Amino acid sequence: MAEGNLRKMKTTLDDPIQYHLSLSEELCMNDFVGKEITLTWSGRINCTNCGKVTKKSFGQGFCYPCFISSPNAAECILRPELCRAHLGEGRDPEWEEKHHNQPHVVYLAASSAVKVGVTRAEQVPTRWIDQGATAAIRLAEVPNRYEAGRIEVSLKEFFTDKTSWQRMLKNEIDESIDLEEEKWSLEDQLPQDIISYFSENDEIIELNYPVIEFPEKVKSVGFDKVPTIQGKLMGIKGQYLIFEGGLVLNIRKHTGYYVEIN
């Protein structure tokens, strides 16, 4: 048994990807695949920023005051084109300098469709794994979050910036996707100032998840409605636990929830 506040699972690129959950002890979640597990929510939620008890979690783990003040919950987290770190501005300029005025990668990820996304350079390939991509390639490498967001916006007419979590968990993959071809097909369609940031690194990272069997249908479950979630763990993909029968639990959505796992 282990207990503690949920945080997103730590991942290691391997074949298959390795997942670890940090509670009162470090759990290798791969070891539980194929076994019966029970997760029980105590009814308590702690803000991941200040630690205070909160009745409701905002923006994946914040109490409301932190949600409207913490740089970790700023609008540019979801919309990087609004980032002002490169101007020395933001909710916390010192934090912004350390995290957002740093090298970022614009990438293409493959699943049921091609998705464009943005992440800090140091978060490669963690970000790709968290989204449940089956493969990914670096598209552009830029000096800060704002430039990455500017490129992402310009690519939205070609690619989606959203992941269909249902199709991702059912492992509906478009096998015809060629990420390198998709990347360089943009060379004649984008302004030169964007093309100048294109990465020469064309390595395609393949991602294999610890899943025994993918479900034909999925149903999301959460602790607010079902305080105890149990069943045979059939696999892990993205930040989801996949149970027998197609029930899926989004660990990241429940950041800050105090749970016990058996």
Number of domains in the chain: 2
120 shares its domain with 185: yes
User: Which residues lie below 8 Å from residue 102, measured CB to CB, with a gap of 6+?
Assistant: 120, 121, 122, 144, 145
* pLDDT for the residue numbered 160: 87
Residue after which a domain boundary falls, among 187, 206, 225: 206
Of 206, 227, 243, the residue that ends a domain is 206
Q: Which of 191, 206, 221 is the last residue of a domain?
A: 206
Q: Are residues 178 and 94 in the same domain?
A: yes
Examine the domain organization and report whether 60 and 166 are in the same domain: no
Domain extent at residue 197: 74-206
Q: Does 198 lie in the same domain as 98?
A: yes
pTM of the model: 0.94
* The total number of residues written for the chain in this structure: 262
Q: What is the pLDDT of residue 162?
A: 84
- Looking at the structure, tell me whether residues 194 and 115 fall in a common domain: yes
Per-residue pLDDT of the chain (262 residues), as tens digits, is 899 999 999 999 999 999 999 999 999 999 999 999 999 999 999 999 999 999 999 998 999 999 999 999 999 999 999 999 999 999 999 999 999 999 999 999 998 899 999 999 999 999 999 999 999 999 999 999 999 999 999 998 899 888 899 999 999 999 899 999 999 999 888 888 899 999 999 999 999 999 999 999 999 999 999 999 999 999 999 999 999 999 999 999 999 999 999 9
pLDDT in the model for residue 1: 86
pLDDT value of position 25: 96
Q: Are residues 119 and 145 in the same domain?
A: yes
